[in-house]
Structure 1
Amino acid sequence: MNETVKAYFDAFNRGDVPGMLACLSEDVRHHVNEGQVREGKDLFRAFCEHMSRCYREELTDMVIFEVEGGRRAAAEYVVNGTYLATDEGLPEARGQSYRLPAGSFFTLENGLITRVVTYYNLADWVKQVSA
């Protein structure tokens, strides 16, 4: 298992943004499920701060895969969350809970994550928080 990716997800589950940032290269490319690619730690930090305001999430059922001698990794997991504050363009937040399968893909260089790609089913999430 890739220790950097494990440390990244451990920090995520603690709500430890500095811990997540410590796993990233300065020029990290963050490909989100919806929206533009974010480049660099500053934009990643801003994304995390926004997410922390709107969502409380814990990832469970984590399986991490590693290939190419640790240069590439992937993870499959379940997002267990609470929708805390209305996010622009999305349904109104009322403290709804959701449970959503998701996955991430990583590229690493010199022990740091240079690319993060995250996928989940947005339509499923909308359905859950709209119920």
Structure 2
Amino acid sequence: MTAHAIVSTYYAAFNAKDWTKMLSLLSDDIRHDSNQGDTQIGKEAFTKFLHHMDDCYDETLTDMVILTETTGTRVACEFVVNGTYKKTDGDLPAAKGQTYVLPAGSFLEVANGKITRVTTYYNLPLWESLVLG
């Protein structure tokens, strides 16, 4: 499978909330750089992050554009996050079922048929303004 196909399958699994399929596409030593916070290494840490996010948010990605570079190992993905804030996440604003639409993007690396890095960026102050109304 090409890097483009792997990442396309990964995000299709995200939208289907098929966490098992999504996790199967990650290397055991996946490097996850979240928008806010420290870099996490390993599938166990990513799984914990994924369950936390699923607990607090219901999100679907639309308007996806996936680009790969010539070696086929790096992928950039632009998308729009369409979400519902289900449960208050730490020190963030209180969740009351607010909905939001937020542009975002990710950079991924692929090696040996697995995703080895996921780095995601979005505008946190904009998200906060959307959920605060």
User: 1:53, 1:92 → 2: CA distance?
Assistant: 14
Number of the residue aligned with 1:60: 62
Which amino acid in 2 is paired with 1:80? N
Q: How far does residue 18 in structure 1 lie from its aligned partner after superposition?
A: 1.0
Segments of 5+ residues of structure 2 without an aligned counterpart are: none
Question: Identity over aligned residues, as a percent?
Answer: 51
> How many aligned positions are there?
131
Query: Partner residue of 1:20?
Result: 22
Tell me, in whole angstroms, the C-alpha distance in 2 between the residues paired with 1:70 and 1:41: 22
Q: Which runs of 4+ in 1 moved over 3 A?
A: none
Q: Deviations along 1:20-51, whole A, 9 cap, x unmatched?
A: 11111000000000001110000000000000
Of 108, 114, 128, the match for 1:112: 114
TM-score, normalised with respect to structure 1 = 0.98
What letter matches 1:56 in structure 2? D
Counterpart of 2:34 (choices 32, 35, 46) is 32
Structure 1 unaligned residues grouped into runs of 5+: none
For 1:101, the equivalent position in structure 2 comes to 103
Partner of 1:73: 75
In 2, the alpha carbon distance for the partners of 1:38 and 1:20 equals: 17
- RMSD over aligned CA atoms reads 0.9
Q: Distance in 2 between matches of 1:36 and 1:14?
A: 27
